[in-house]
Amino acid sequence: MKRRERQKRDAPVGPEVHPVKVPDLVAWLEKLKEERPEDLDRIEETLDILADYEAERDTDSLDAEVEQVNPRLLVCAKCRQKVLPGDVCCRGCGRRLVWNLRGGMR
Ligand SMILES: [Zn+2]
């Protein structure tokens, strides 16, 4: 138990990788609707949550933060393409740039 707790605390911060893919989960839930009509409300609710989650992820993938590597170099955080002040979209990956500058040293 102690060991497990420590592993959890030391785990790298970042998006967790889930073994189940959302489309698979949605397909399974759609099938479950027919098999378990008594749980229809709960299944619909879960599908709603998944749809919201997917929508949010889509928006997220269209945006890229601008990162300041040094005082004279700004790059797209997603593809590392050089970005010029005033750019709206990245020239490398085409994502919409989010000008929310943080220190670039990571
Ligand atoms: Zn980019």
> How much is the pLDDT for 32?
95
Contact by Cβ (8 Å): 56, 63: no
Distance 54 CA to ligand 1 centre (A): 21
**Rounded to 5°, angle at Cα 105 from 58 and 77:** 20
What does DSSP assign to residue 41?
A: H
Please tell me the distance from the alpha carbon of residue 43 to that of residue 32, in angstroms, as a whole number: 8
pLDDT tens digits, one per residue of 44-72: 999 999 888 887 776 667 889 999 999 89
Distance 73 CA to ligand 1 centre (A): 14
With 90 as the cut, is the pLDDT of residue 27 above it? yes
> How much is the pLDDT for 38?
96
Element (H, E) at 74: strand 73-76
**Beta strands, E only, the chain:** 63-70, 73-76, 82-83, 96-98
> How much is the pLDDT for 26?
92
Model pTM score:
0.43
Spatial neighbors of 78 by CB under 8 A, at least 6 apart, are: 64, 65, 90, 93, 95
Distance 84 CA to ligand 1 centre (A): 12
Q: Which two tokens stand for residue 84?
A: 């010029």
pLDDT tens digits, one per residue of 7-18: 555 555 666 665
Distance 62 CA to ligand 1 centre (A): 10
With 70 as the cut, is the pLDDT of residue 86 above it? yes
Distance 19 CA to ligand 1 centre (A): 27
